[in-house]
Structure 1
Amino acid sequence: MDPLTTSTGAEPDAALLARYARGDAAAARLLAERLAPMVLRFATRMLGGDRAEAEDVTQEAMLRLWRQAPQWQADGAAKPATWVYRVAANLCTDRLRRRARRRHLPLEAAADPPDPGSSAAAQIMDATRAAALEAALASLPERQRQAVILRHIEGLANPEIAQIMDTGVEAVESLLARGKRALQARLAGKRPELGYDDDEDT
Structure 2
Amino acid sequence: MSVDLRLVAGRVAGGDVAAFRPIVDHTRVPLYRLAARLCGNLADAEDALQDAYASAFRALSDGRYDGRAKIETWLYRIVTNACVDLLRKRKERPAEDTREPRFDGLVRAEARVALTELDAMLKSLQPQDRAALVLVTVEGLSAKEAAEALGCTEGALEQRLVRARAALRTKTEAGEVSDGRA
**TM-score, reference length from structure 2:** 0.75
The one-character-per-residue Cα deviations of 1:45-81 (angstroms, maximum 9, x if unpaired) are 22222x122112111211222222231555x412222
Aligned to 1:136: 121
Q: Which amino acid aligns with 1:53?
A: D
The one-character-per-residue Cα deviations of 1:156-196 (angstroms, maximum 9, x if unpaired) are 11111111212110110111122122223323455xx9xxx
1:104 is aligned, of 95, 98, 101, to 95
CA contact 1:18–1:72 (8 Å) conserved in 2: no
Q: How many equivalent residue pairs?
A: 170
Q: Does 2:108 correspond to 1:113?
A: yes
Counterpart Cα distance in 2 of 1:15 and 1:37? 21
Pair 43,105 (structure 1): closer, same or farther in 2 beyond 3 Å: farther
Counterpart Cα distance in 1 of 2:93 and 2:119? 22
2:136 is aligned, of 145, 151, 157, to 151
Aligned to 1:87: 78
Structure 2 spans left out of the alignment, 5+ residues: 101-106
Counterpart Cα distance in 1 of 2:60 and 2:50? 15
Counterpart Cα distance in 2 of 1:53 and 1:33? 20
Q: Cα distance, 1:145 vs. partner?
A: 0.4
RMSD of the alignment, in Å?
3.3
Pair 37,163 (structure 1): closer, same or farther in 2 beyond 3 Å: same
Q: Does 2:165 correspond to 1:180?
A: yes
Q: Does 2:145 correspond to 1:160?
A: yes
Q: Cα distance, 1:150 vs. partner?
A: 0.6
Counterpart Cα distance in 1 of 2:164 and 2:11? 40
Counterpart Cα distance in 2 of 1:174 and 1:44? 24
Q: Which amino acid aligns with 2:59?
A: Q
Pair 184,105 (structure 1): closer, same or farther in 2 beyond 3 Å: farther
Question: Greater CA radius of gyration, 1 or 2?
Answer: 1
Aligned to 1:63: 54
1:18 is aligned, of 10, 26, 35, to 10
